[in-house]
A and B are shown apart, each in its own frame.
Chain A
Amino acid sequence: MKKTKKILALCLIAALVCVCFSGCGSTAAPASAKSSGTEGTADYSGLTLRLAAQYGMQYAPVYVLKEMGYLEQLLPGVKLEWDQLAGGSAMNEALISGSLDVAFMGIPPALIAIDSGAAYRVACGICVPPAELMVPANSGIKSLADLNAEGVTIAVPSIGSIQDIMLSTACESQLGDANALSDNLVAMGNADAYAAFKTGSVTAHFASMPYIADEQNDGMVSILNADDCGGGASIVCVCTEDIHQNEAVYNALLKGLQMAVDLINTQSDQVLQIIASNENCTADEARTYLNWPGTLYTEDVCGLTRLGEFMAQHSYLKNDFQGFGSYTWEGAMEGK
């Protein structure tokens, strides 16, 4: 009798654990993006698209895509679910678990995931953002070599981020060792890093817009930019295989982003207002950010091959770099 109770208890525990796992799994349901309509006579009322981006000027085309309602126009009846995620790592987990259909992120996290076997690919670029390593003007720091010291901390948005990889490329070319500053890195979101930088808690900040402008206004200076790291690299739009296979939806996504990029490049008042409201800045500041040296809004995917080869060479990727086409859906245009 006692033994029966024990076996029963064990079964209950096992069932409980199963239920727990099933609960976890509820957020990891496979992505589905099915439309009930066809191109031309489209009715996409049965379609839900789950998209995620981050904050910052490099996501300005996403701001415009959302605010102008391009996807809703191109896919009438579509239900869009937008998320803000903290970084490429969270995007990867959401995409792989099937919780997201479309995400906007830097090239390195996308390459890491695709290299590890994720089924998504890069659809297009949206922006080649500026990236600058900022230090206090009076710090006496003039180059990377000055940062190679104990007690020096360099904030990057996350490990494996575009800034992290760019810094490594610069370290290799200027210091002869891609990992020369690895022990000096701290991973902090741009907002936290900006606050820590202002209080002197970090020595340098590899920043993106609009933090580069803010920090420059606070008396910081740039000692390294994307050109010093071999060139800029795109923020890309990635999507799952389900989306890619649904031609009408995939084309609408590309078209919507193209319309957003085109509108941004007009720098119209409407665009400035959209950016100002999303970035909590003035229209003039928005114009400054859009025209910051090194900024390019384009659907071309820039820097993927260069970064991919570097990342494979330095074991950021498990496998050799397989070429641009292995990481992108067909039709993606390679930029410089």
Chain B
Amino acid sequence: MMQNQNDFQRLWAHSWFRDFIYLAAVIAIWQILYGLRLFPAMLFPSMWDILKTLLDETLSGSMISKTVFSLKLILIGMGAAVVLAVILTTAAMFSKTVMDLVSTLIAVLDPLPGIAILPVAILVFGLGEDAIVFVMIHSIIWPMLLNITGGFKSVPAIYTDVGRNIGLRRFRLLWGVYIPASVPNILAGFKTGWSRAWRAFISAEMVFGASGSSGGLGWDIYMKKAYLDMDGMYATLIVIMLIGILIEKGVFRTIENGTVKKWGMVA
């Protein structure tokens, strides 16, 4: 009995085990709710049917191609937003005018949901991938800038004073002091940007998107909703959640462990 308890505690210490248990609990609760018939089965299908559809669509390759299409566009949006954010924050560090401009732009544009500027995007870029990427950049860049500039502003003066005392100026001060001291904020900006990118992408695709072979996961959800294929729709949502877990656990946590945790900046 004691041995079993120790084994459980050992396993519980691993985050993957805890995640697995949480996931299993959600699946079990879903299936119990389905069994209780609290909701119409047409809109709340069995988890087994959802997982079977997910497996079928993965094996047929259709889910993979849509996922790859979505990831490609999201990475393009993230990449473009990161480049713009780096340029703007760097300029803002050296110019009070640019800093004021960036602050104003954040205050004005950050509250605007990406989908709200879709008509403007269509007007400028026409229908298609360019408009979706534009909407994603809008969704990503402002929270990212907010976090990065917030991080820079909160760097203790003693750090920058030390940097200046040892002769660091401009880019070297930025690279040697501001950026390392702001890594937790920068990471938070990336995380927010990543989730905003997904939301913008899915929303934009659900408003419009080319049908047939060229759509991503948002279009897939739209099509499945239109044809009341709820098993398929939830299967697509699971894929989006799995990608979120993979990026959070695989990418962001690895970066955190290698930087801010290693440096003792966060617990």
Report how far A10 CA is from B227 CA in the complex, Å. 37
Distance A6 CA – B122 CA, assembled complex (angstroms) = 51
Chain B contacts for A13, CB-based, 8 A:
22, 25
| Contact of A202 with B223 in the complex, beta carbons under 8 Å | no
Is B267's beta carbon under 8 Å from chain A? no
Q: Is the beta-carbon distance between A10 and B9 smaller than 8 angstroms?
A: no
Partner of B227, one of A160, A182, A187, A199: A160
Known: A13-B22, A14-B25. A97 touches B40 (CB 8 A): yes
What is the CA–CA distance of A207 and B45 in the complex, to the nearest angstrom?
Answer: 35
Q: Mark A195-212, 1 if CB is under 8 A from B, else 0.
A: 110011110000000000
Query: B57-65, B183-191, B205-213, B241-249: which lies at the A interface?
Result: B205-213
A-B contact count (CB 8 A): 100
Interface string of A142-177 (1 = CB under 8 A from B): 000000000001000011100000000000000000
Q: Among residues 90 to 132 in chain A, which have CB atoms less than 8 Å away from a CB atom of chain B? A: 92-93, 96-98, 109, 112-113, 116-118
**B116 interfacial contact with A, CB 8 Å:** no
Does B212 contact A159, Cβ atoms closer than 8 Å?
no
Of B26, B39, B228, which contacts A116 at CB under 8 A? B228
Does B162 reach chain A (CB closer than 8 Å)?
no
Complex contact A182–B123 (CB within 8 A): no
For the complex, what is the distance from the CA of A93 to the CA of B39, rounded to whole Å?
12
Question: With A14-B29, A98-B40 in contact, do A187 and B123 touch (Cβ < 8 Å)?
Answer: no
Chain B residues with CB under 8 Å of A183's CB are 210-214
Q: Known A188-B208, A192-B119, A195-B119; judge A89-B39 contact (CB<8 A).
A: no
B29 contact from A17, A158, A160, Cβ within 8 A? A17
Q: Could you say which of A118, A160, A199 contacts B42, with CB atoms under 8 Å apart?
A: A118
Contact B29 A96 (CB under 8 A): no
Q: How distant is B69 from chain A, measured CB to nearest CB, in Å?
A: 14
Does B108 reach chain A (CB closer than 8 Å)?
no
Given the complex, which residues of B lie within 8 Å of A187, measured CB to CB? 207-209, 211, 222
Are A185 and B210 touching (Cβ within 8 A)?
A: yes
Are A97 and B39 in contact (CB-based, < 8 A)? yes
B12 within 8 A of A: yes
Decide: B33 and A10 in contact? CB cutoff 8 A.
Answer: no
Residue of B nearest to A17 (CB): B29
Contact present for A2 and B210 (CB under 8 Å): no
Closest chain B residue to A108, Cβ basis: B226
Which chain B residues lie closer than 8 Å to A6 at the CB level?
Answer: 12
Residues from chain A with a CB closer than 8 A to the CB of B122 are 192, 195-196, 199, 201
Question: CB of B127 within 8 A of chain A?
Answer: yes
B5 interfacial contact with A, CB 8 Å: yes
Q: Which residues of A contact B33 (CB under 8 A)?
A: 18, 21
Please tell me if B21 contacts chain A, counting CB pairs below 8 Å: yes
Given contacts A6-B12, A18-B29, contact A158 B210 (CB under 8 A): no
Chain A residues with Cβ below 8 Å from B29 are: 14, 17-18, 21
Distance in angstroms from B15 CB to nearest chain A CB is 14
A residues less than 8 Å from B228 (CB atoms): 89, 92, 96, 112-113, 116, 118
Which B7-23 residues have C-beta < 8 A from chain A?
8-9, 12, 21-22
- A14-B25, A97-B39, A116-B42 given; A159·B223 CB < 8 A: yes
A321 to chain B, nearest CB (A): 16
Q: What's the nearest-Cβ distance from chain B to residue A308, in Å?
A: 15
| B150 is an interface residue with CB less than 8 A from chain A | no
Residues of A within 8 A of B (CB): 2-3, 6, 10, 13-14, 17-18, 21, 25, 28, 88-89, 92-93, 96-98, 109, 112-113, 116-118, 153, 158-160, 182-188, 192, 195-196, 199-202, 316
In the complex, besides A117-B42, A186-B208, A196-B127, 14 extra interface pairs with C-beta distance below 8 angstroms are A2-B9, A3-B5, A3-B8, A17-B25, A17-B26, A18-B33, A28-B40, A89-B228, A93-B225, A96-B43, A112-B226, A116-B228, A195-B119, A196-B122
Closest 8 CB pairs of A and B: A183-B212, A160-B226, A201-B126, A116-B228, A159-B226, A185-B211, A186-B208, A89-B226
